[in-house]
Structure 1
């Protein structure tokens, strides 16, 4: 045995009868140890439970999750149970895919580690959006994660892609399980231990909002002046802060827990830079939602708001920093230099048919802005930022003159404000001008507005 319960070279067997060989140990956590193992289909990760936790209930949970046969690439989902055929190591573990090196944990972002220094406002919003969509998919299958926290989400700082780990504690809604969550992410009714309170999709919504606030604000939503007054952050103090007397930093009706500017400058600055569209959702979920679980913001609301903000990110002409704006909102002052941000024209887009029409959405047409396949769907299940259908490009010989280039495989129809009409073939560009109308096919059309 080397540095763990299992030894390199040891042979285990899956419930299908395949023999796998243990390699090095990746690390350990509260429930067990994780190893690399060699299988016929390539390397996998093995989570091996500590003996006292490898009980019948955990095995039942695993069997249920594996029985889903879910293959969503945003989750390191349990694939098969593994045991020691020789019986030297009682208990069991399970196989899952190995986490690719491009994914980093969120604490590394908050620690400002050098490899994440290039993370931008855009990739943070994309990571938040992907996180919301991942949990929306999980909840759509009737499964509650029950322990959403910043240690279970990994993200790619270049693309904003996310990976959800530690899925072996998820259960189908209504089922019992031992894990109730991590206290600073838990819903107040769970922290208090209310009669009838149990982890589920509604409590997941609180944990998800805490995670989003941490991701975008780099701060916990309930840790303001009240937290700074606590001399000893013991369990009693934590229960009061997160359960018996939780107060949102920016609760409009209760100012007791406002951030202390001298010591909590980051959250003050980031909150002021956040578009009202997102601020309003945080206020809802951390005021009414703290007291009434049914009023917590749903995944679809977060998805729509994050998507709208992502589409309207603008660069400051003075310092080049990315600024979050709103589709119909005024030009903000840059969070970096304080100058007013010049808003580029916007593309107002509608999709669908006469019987199923989307509400208009706006895309700011700054340099290199892009439109994707998901923009052409009435309601996309998942945002895909690899399928580009249009891109703002600069004229090769006339600096400062921009157009929209057709990156799709379909021909568009363009109608100018003067009434002229012409076709835009794939690879061709139409000059940007106010009033320009574009028809993309399939009922998707747009108009350029100031």
Structure 2
């Protein structure tokens, strides 16, 4: 039986000499088809290019990516080029790991698919943070992704873990590739085809911001009133909306493209519930960053803001909904029921040494956790499995809470009356305003009401 271009049971060969047997068709996209295949190392995924796209330049890109031997678990990285030894099937493909079943595509959020019903507001912010960190890792190695869009990110709705797919168009910064991006996500200078404009890490920053806006706001940053006036959203219309005259829907100095409340209620509501720390970054990248690409928000800035917002998420005591709050701001009204939130105490953390110390805060709600990345000045990656401490209820008095030490190290606690005690592994220290904690390695904290 034939599945797409390749027949089930057909034997191909990897450049390493390993035999690759076609099992079934997973799906198809703009560049080719993806199959499940069997190899001596187990099941893998095979992307086989459409003949017209299997050219020498694409093969050169693949060879460069494979030669890097990158084993970052957030990327389905190409591992080997595959050919048809009989020559009956023209072109080539490449092997990568199979995407685990727990990962769902981002568009499932907008389809309200049951597969992602477990995703909470905390999950979405975690997805945003992990996505930024993944692309920061790529860019730090001098590689531009060139086609960041919502079809290339998969996420676990329970944990917020992400997986970046379709990495075969990523190239070393400055090199050329056939793919320039997806129109809705492309930087305006690429949409306009400005002279000298090329896809790279700078244009990736615009695409990344569009993806984050869609993830958190459930709409496109340029699809306001002007989009509603377009009768046919064809390529010419998109080129005007995203390239010739891109106006951010919440541009403080240009109200032409404001969302229409009765027609676009979702983005109006979500923007109203967004903390200023994130609003400011979106405004900057979609106003100054549109006009001057070097002013686009960098990955480190997104990481810092998203991490702070994640630590400040507060559950409404009336309706139970999660709310994004300004990390150091006053209590807002709940986006769902409208009642003013009661903010938990904050654990004010200080990390680093000398004069350049980093400060951050964690809302001490029941079950809140302190992670290893909280104790590092500039974490490369937020790992939510590395729990350092957890807010736990007193076994006899549920209204009282403490912080339990989940490390193998002894903490030092200094109470507001000046007394000092050790908090050994597995032990809990009662949380009261003024409590000082030393975690070691220069990391300190104070509980503030």
* TM above 0.5: yes
Question: What residue in structure 2 maps to residue 104 of structure 1?
Answer: 104
**Distance of 2:235 and 2:349 partners within structure 1:** 51
Shift of 1:327: 2.0
- Spell out, residue by residue over 1:42-92, the C-alpha distance to the aligned partner (whole angstroms, 9 max, x if none): 110000001111000000010111111101000000001000111111110
Matched, 1:280 2:280: yes
SS at match of 1:375: helix
- Does residue 244 of structure 2 align to residue 255 of structure 1? no
1:212-231 matches, within 5 Å, as: 212-231=212-231
Residues 234-313 of structure 1 mapped to structure 2, 5 A cutoff? 234-313=234-313
Match of 1:423 in 2: 422
List structure 1 runs of 4+ shifted beyond 6 angstroms: none
1:443 paired with 2:442, answer yes
Q: What is residue 336 of structure 1 aligned with on the other side? A: 336
CA distance in 2, matches of 1:114, 1:236: 35
| Structure 2 CA distance for aligned equivalents of residues 36 and 232 of structure 1 | 38
1:194-249 C-alpha deviation (Å, 9 max, x unpaired): 00011000000000000000000010000000000111212221111000000001
Which residue of structure 2 lines up, in the alignment, with residue 434 of structure 1?
433
Is it true that 1:56 corresponds to 2:56 in the alignment? yes
1:364 CA displacement: 0.5
Secondary structure, aligned partner of 1:435 = coil
After superposition, what is the alpha-carbon deviation per residue over 1:275-327, rounded to whole angstroms, capped at 9, x for unaligned? 00000000000000011100000000000000000011111111111111122
- The residue aligned with 1:140 is 140
Equivalent residue number for residue 384 of structure 1: 383
- For 1:20-31, what aligned pairs fall within 5 Å after superposition? 20-31=20-31
Unmatched 5+ residue regions in structure 2?
none
Residues 112-170 of structure 1 deviation map (CA, whole Å, 9 limit, x = unaligned): 01121221110000000000000000000111000000000000000000000000011
Q: 2:352 corresponds to which residue? A: 352
Provide the rounded CA distance (Å) in 2 between the counterparts of 1:186 and 1:134.
19
* Partner SS, residue 283 of structure 2: helix
- CA deviation vs aligned residue, 1:388-439 (integer Å, no higher than 9, x gap): 0000001111121111111111110100000011011111111110000000
Match of 1:375 in 2: 374
* 1:22 CA displacement: 0.8
Q: 1:9 deviation in Å? A: 1.1
Q: Over residues 352-388 of structure 1, what are the superposed CA-to-partner deviations in whole Å (9 max), with x where a residue is unaligned?
A: 2236x43210000001000101111111100000010
Note the alpha carbon deviations across 1:87-112, whole angstroms, 9 max, x for none: 11111000000000000001111110
Distance 1:202 1:363 in 2: 32
Q: Is the 8 A contact 2:413 2:435 kept in 1?
A: yes
CA distance in 2, matches of 1:14, 1:376: 45
- The alpha-carbon deviation at position 2 of structure 1 amounts to 1.2
Unaligned runs of 5+ in 1: none
TM-score, L = length of structure 2 = 0.99
TM-score scaled by structure 1?
Answer: 0.99
Contact 2:104 2:115 in 1 (8 A): no
**Cα drift, residue 41 of structure 1:** 1.2
